[in-house]
Structure 1
Amino acid sequence: MSKNRVIIFDTTLRDGEQSPGASMSLEGKLQIASAFQDLGVDVMEAGFPAASPGDFEAVSEISKLLKTTVPCGLARAVKNDLEKCVDSLKHAKNYRIHTFISTSDLHIKHKLQKTKEEVLDLIKYSVEFAKKNTDDVEWSPEDATRTDPDYLCKTVELAIKCGATTINIPDTVGYALPGDYERIIKDLFNRVPNIDKVTVSTHTHNDLGLAVANALAGVAAGARQIECTINGIGERAGNAALEEVVMAMKTRHDLMPYETNIVTNKINSCSKLLSNIIGFPVQYNKAIVGKNAFAHESGIHQDGMLKNSQTYEIMTPESVGVNKSSLVMGKHSGRHAFKEKLANLGYFNLNEDKIDHAFNKFKDLADKKRHVFDEDIAALVDDDLMKNNNVIKLISLDVEAGTKGQKAKLELEVYGENKSTEQSGDGPVDSIFKCIKEIFPHDVNLQLYQVHAVTEGTDAQATVSVRIEEKGRISVGQAADTDTLVASAQAYINALNKLILKRKRSAPSDKDYSAAI
């Protein structure tokens, strides 16, 4: 293996699942394991087999599933943990046992309640036990960054002597600064015999927001494995985020000339998969995989993006599996971005007066809404374009409703010809919409039907909103009337007329910056 090759050890299913509320079902873990194997993860810490029967089963099933990724189980330095680890991994052709024990004075005294000599005996026992069952043994001194440097060197030297092939240095409580962590790794390389014969690994927590920085500092000091999780989930504030350490090395290859086996264009899909399974939304401004990671609202930034995306993006969205950048249309957006948005929505032939008129209406709307969506912009333009150009017009509507059933009689003008029908449905609104479909056949998905009363009282004017979708085209219609049923018919017809207009437009250009939510 190249000296600049960095092994990616994913612990999403073990340390990640220790995030409060992030428990996963067996089915979910298997989905994640399969996806992460496709992502190119080298080693997958599938769980802590001795923790529960569920963990044991998950590690066992994952060990059967994985072919190119090495499955790994975690074990404390006790016989029961080690035996369960071996038993759960026995189905795999190759597997790793990861055993650990605390080494800081604080942990030894208050957590283990042992002496330093007793800890050394347990290191020898656990590593030798693991080595009898597999050639791939990882050992970790828990709370390494708060461990006395001399004692840390002594424990690492012993673990290597007993057969460990990977030495992991955990910043268990996220205490270290990058300078500290780099110094610790360098100190081990300078002082521990035969450390050049094993792989040194980083395991950093994010309590001070430095997990990724510390992991990268460890690699710069000579570590060649990073323990990390997708979306940075994990105990307390989480672990180093896989997507961040990988893309940092890929993007800043000039300063960090290291390689991984990660297929980066699968990062985004893995992030979404994990989020859906555990129910944790990804922070909007999360690096690499957040919704806003490739979104731009500032007019200055949008203008630069339209001229050359490298002005404000240091990596392409496609490189991490995001379809495209997003120019978020809001009150900070400029006319250049708005005009580009109109073209992407299919409005190619608008004159400058119409563009200016629509842009002014857009600015007014943007002051009232946090985000202005594609359909909002289309509605602004369509309302002007459709004056005196409606294909479908309402002539008359009669509705019968009550305990004996619901029925609607509807007459429309379609392309200048009057047509009428009568339909029954599951309620008066359903009857009306069935009439419209009978007179003007179409196949759409009704995404939204919403009624708002504009004023108080039984004679209040109702505003009805309808959103329909056809083959990716979304059309929004609105209408107001003191009769809610008339407003419903008018709103649906309004949405249909806009949809007919959308059908006539040619396809948008290849460059597509769609609005983000």
Structure 2
Amino acid sequence: MKQIKIFDTTLRDGQQCPGAGMSHSKNIEYAQLASLIKVDVLEAGFPSASEQDHAIVSQIARMYAHQNRSPKVAALSQLREAQVEQTIEALSPLVKSQRAIVHLYVPVAPELMAASLGAYADDKNQILRDVQGMIELAVGAGMEVEFSPEAYSQMGDHFAFTTDLISAAIDAGASTINCPDTIGRACYLQGDDYFVNHMNQHAHIMREQFPDRDITWSVHCHNDFGLALDNSMRAVFEGPATQIEGCFNGIGERAGNVALEQCIMYLNAFGHSQPGEVYRSQCRSKHIRRISDFVHQNMLPRQPHWPIGGDNAAKHSSGGHTNAILRNAHIYQPFNPSEVGQQISFVFGPLSGSNHAQAIIQKHGYVCTDDERQTIMQYIKDHHKERRKGLTDDEFMAAYFAFRAPIKVAKIGFERIKNKQHFAMQAKVFDQAEDIHFIAQDDDTAITALHQFLQQRFGECQIQSYRSESREPGRHAKAHATITVVADDEYFQGKAQDQDIETAALKALIDAYNQFLVQRHYRQPIQTERHAAVGLRD
């Protein structure tokens, strides 16, 4: 069994991504979720960057200090004594439980060293002394230390210098060596120069130099070429890495970091594929959707087709898929979506079939027999023929109610005779053509007269509220009417529009009554035995 640690840098590298920053309270809320999902290390921020960052890291450290089981907390620092001391101060509540990690870094890629360090880049001996000194300072304060040779994958001809840096870091007390692909440009096609090969070389050298030290090799990959997952997994399966660093939903600088939810599920799916070895993480994958949704809502939007946690990852529309899934719930899923807190769901669209239509209707508890499901399906598609992207369940059921509507009015006419309004409606009632006549007596409104007629014909139903409005300017604007009725202790809201305000109100009342009648005549018990396993939802 090879335990792979998950180092979550969503609060640090993730918030360095433009537009992904969160308030103080949201940082704390995220830390609670990270503890729930059981990441091994939470990199909470960069304490010396600002008072706010220091306060966030400090509060997370205090919060975790009161938990028996929580992630270790890492905080980033440059090789500057004042920064290291600020970082130590922020993490100090976790010293007693040995869960505080100072994360120190210095660039090793030649071009990055020149751009970042200026003249300091030429004094490699001083850099080595500073690495040694800053790590000893942190270790002496009771901290663990992770050391990162920044842009490790681009070190070029600095292999020997990088070796000296890693050796100095371990000698000073660093317990984790992180090997970043800082600009996301590593690829296995680089052959001998591929950074995983260099990791293997450095791991071998350090085992010989420090045979009694247990060093964690970590990998931190960016996704600029879409290779972050492949590179991270190669560092684990083909290299020495036993820790993966990344962010949930793959956020992070530029194109982001490796997505931690993808790493976790990759290990779950393929961690046993190597003969004689099993790779796994301790993360509770059932909370992935929850933490993914948090990042989506509070940091950066997640694409619907995003792997593992995306809205479409367990959502289906095509008729062929739906028919198969109704027989075998997970036939078109690479893993059971419940493993990550998802549910299989269907979206009714242009390619959906009659089985799908029947399943939605029966899930909502209404009648759809095998003989009529094709007709109903086609009606709903025609009703929403412009909705190529699919329907919500509410939209679908509204079309079903329109199909089932017992009262279908083709025309409404009225005239005033001796202070009375005479109304005539051409309609089909339960598919039978009828001419309906009613009169508004004395001070009765047309709505009152129609309501009395409908009650006498179809049953008791009280008007709860009525509203009519014009939503566009000008005298040619249509009237929009909304009427709510109550029957059998349930509320039904009818809506309609017409150039004539009175006609709009009459149509809205009929719409509300139709919903009541569909409920009364076409409702059936929900068939949970057939559909519960599929996990249908809006």
* Residue in 1 that maps onto 2:45: 47
Post-superposition shift, 1:287?
A: 0.6
Equivalent residue letter for 1:194: F
Alpha-carbon deviation of 1:154? 2.3
TM-superposed CA distance for 1:460, in Å, is 5.3
Match of 2:75 among 73, 80, 84: 73
**CA distance, structure 1, for counterparts of residue 240 and residue 308 of structure 2:** 25
1:189 aligns with 2:203: yes
For 1:35-184, list aligned pairs within 5 A. 35-66=33-64, 67=67, 68-92=70-94, 93=96, 94=98, 95-113=100-118, 114-115=121-122, 116-147=124-155, 148-178=158-188, 180-184=194-198
1:368 paired residue number: 386
1:364 is displaced (CA, Å) by: 2.4
1:439-472 CA-to-partner distances (Å, cap 9, x unmatched) read 9xxxxxx9xx99777xx973455566889999xx
Alpha carbons 2:465, 2:485 under 8 Å: kept: no
AA paired with 1:15? D
Letter in 2 for 1:364: D
1-side partners of 2:79 and 2:376: how far apart? Answer: 69
Query: What's the counterpart of residue 505 of structure 1?
Result: 524
Partner amino acid, structure 1, of 2:355: H
Instruction: Kindly indicate whether residue 464 of structure 2 is the aligned counterpart of residue 437 of structure 1.
Output: yes
Say if 2:289 is the partner of 1:275.
no
> Is 1:216 matched up with 2:233?
yes
In 2, are the aligned partners of 1:12 and 1:45 still within 8 Å (CA)?
yes
Q: In structure 2, what is the Cα distance between the partners aligned to 1:305 and 1:89?
A: 50
Q: TM-score, normalised by structure 2?
A: 0.80
2:352 is paired with a residue whose SS is coil
Deviation at residue 486 of structure 1 after TM alignment: 4.7
CA distance in 1, matches of 2:482, 2:537: 21
Offset at residue 512 of structure 1 (A):
4.6
Q: 2: distance between equivalents of 1:336 and 1:380?
A: 16
CA distance in 2, matches of 1:26, 1:297: 40
The equivalent of 2:304 in structure 1 is 284
Greater CA deviation, 256-265 or 41-50?
A: 256-265
For 1:162 and 1:320, the matched residues in 2 are separated by 41
Q: 1:219, 1:452 → 2: CA distance?
A: 61
Please state whether the residue corresponding to 2:177 is helix, strand or coil.
strand
> In structure 2, what is the Cα distance between the partners aligned to 1:417 and 1:345?
27
1:396–1:410 CA contact under 8 A, matched in 2? no
Q: In 1, distance between residues paired with 2:509 and 2:187?
A: 60
Aligned partners of 1:237, 1:308: CA distance in 2, in Å?
37
1:228 to 217, 242, 246: 246
For residue 104 of structure 2, what is the amino acid of its counterpart? T
Q: Matched residues in 2 for 1:501 and 1:209: separation?
A: 52
Equivalent-residue separation in structure 2 for 1:197 and 1:295 (angstroms): 45
Residues of 2 paired with 1:28 and 1:394: CA distance?
A: 62
d(CA) in 1 for partners of 2:20, 2:30: 13
Unaligned runs of 5+ in 1: 401-406, 422-434, 440-445
Residues 383, 399 of structure 2: 8 Å contact kept: no
Structure 1 residues 203 and 438, CA gap change in structure 2 (3 angstroms): closer
Identity over aligned residues, as a percent? Answer: 27
Residue 21 of structure 2 aligns with which residue? 23
**Partners in 2 of 1:88 and 1:468 — Cα distance?**
61
SS of 1:506 mapped into structure 2: coil
Cα displacement (A) at 1:205: 0.7
CA deviations on 1:288-322 (whole Å, 9 max, x unpaired) are 11111111122222222222233310111111011
In 1, Cα distance between equivalents of 2:308 and 2:491: 29
Change (3 A) 1:21 1:154: same
The letter of the residue matching 2:351 is H
1:81 Cα offset (Å): 0.9
Write the letter of the residue equivalent to 2:339: S
Q: 1:339 aligns with which of 358, 363, 385?
A: 358
| Residue-by-residue CA offset, 1:213-251 (whole Å, 9 max, x unaligned) | 111111111211111111111111111111110011112
Is the aligned partner of 1:244 residue 2:250?
no
C-alpha distance 335-78 of structure 1, shift in aligned 2 (>3 A):
same
Equivalent residue number for residue 218 of structure 2 = 201
Superposed CA deviations along residues 491-511 of structure 1, whole A, max 9, x for unmatched, are 365246425644743124224
Is the Cα–Cα contact under 8 Å of residues 317 and 325 in structure 1 kept in the other structure? yes
What SS does the corresponding residue of 2:396 show, helix, strand or coil?
helix
Give 2:281's match in structure 1, choosing from 260, 266, 270. Answer: 260
Taking only aligned residues, the RMSD between alpha carbons, in angstroms, comes to 3.5
Unaligned runs of 5+ residues in structure 2 are 408-428, 431-435
Distance across 1 between alignment mates of 2:512 and 2:242: 58
> What CA distance in whole angstroms lies between the structure 2 residues aligned with 1:69 and 1:237?
26
Structure 1 equivalent of residue 348 of structure 2: 329
How many Å separate the matches in 1 of 2:106 and 2:516?
65
Pair member with larger Rg: 2
